């Protein structure tokens, strides 16, 4: 049973460019959440997708956008990249939007470096 799959593993982009990160949720999961983890920090919530719609959003600018497809996979898009966008981007999947007791299943992340 495959867990959460993220691609690519690593990515180097130039300031001002745009990037797309991809996530396939764990089998049986229908909700995808994206987190940004800067060096030395804990993961920070970007947004959550359920039923192909953005359901909740953290404190991130509109440069960060996403999409969820009918097969529950998801993309995270970041426009006009800044040096400060360099981070590990984690995708987390769950069955349903509310994960009090069970938590998420996280992927291994995409390491984005902006130069």
- Helix, strand, or coil here: 85? helix
CA distances from 16 to 11, 52, 87 (A): 15, 28, 16
Is residue 1 within the footprint of another protein (CB under 8 A)? no
User: Applying CB under 8 A, does 40 fall inside the site for another protein?
Assistant: yes
Return the range that interacts with another protein (CB under 8 A); candidates 13-21, 64-72, 75-83, 90-98: 90-98
60 counts as binding another protein under rule CB under 8 A: no
Q: Is residue 110 within 8 Å of 10, Cβ to Cβ?
A: yes
Interface with another protein (CB under 8 A): 4, 33, 35, 40-45, 48, 56, 58, 90, 92, 97-109
């Amino acid at each position: 049973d495959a867990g959460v799959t993220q691609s690519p593993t690593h990515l180097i982009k130039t300031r001002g460019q745009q990037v797309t990160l991809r996530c396939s949720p764990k089998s049986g999961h229908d909700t995808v959440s994206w987190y940004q983890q800067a060096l030395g920090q804990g993961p920070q919530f970007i947004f959550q997708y359920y039923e192909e719609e953005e359901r909740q959003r953290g404190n991130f600018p509109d440069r960060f956008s996403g999409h969820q497809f009918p097969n529950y996979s998801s993309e995270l898009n970041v426009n006009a990249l800044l040096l400060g966008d360099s981070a590990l981007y984690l995708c987390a999947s769950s069955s349903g939007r509310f994960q009090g007791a069970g938590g998420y299943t996280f992927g291994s992340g995409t390491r984005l470096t902006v130069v």
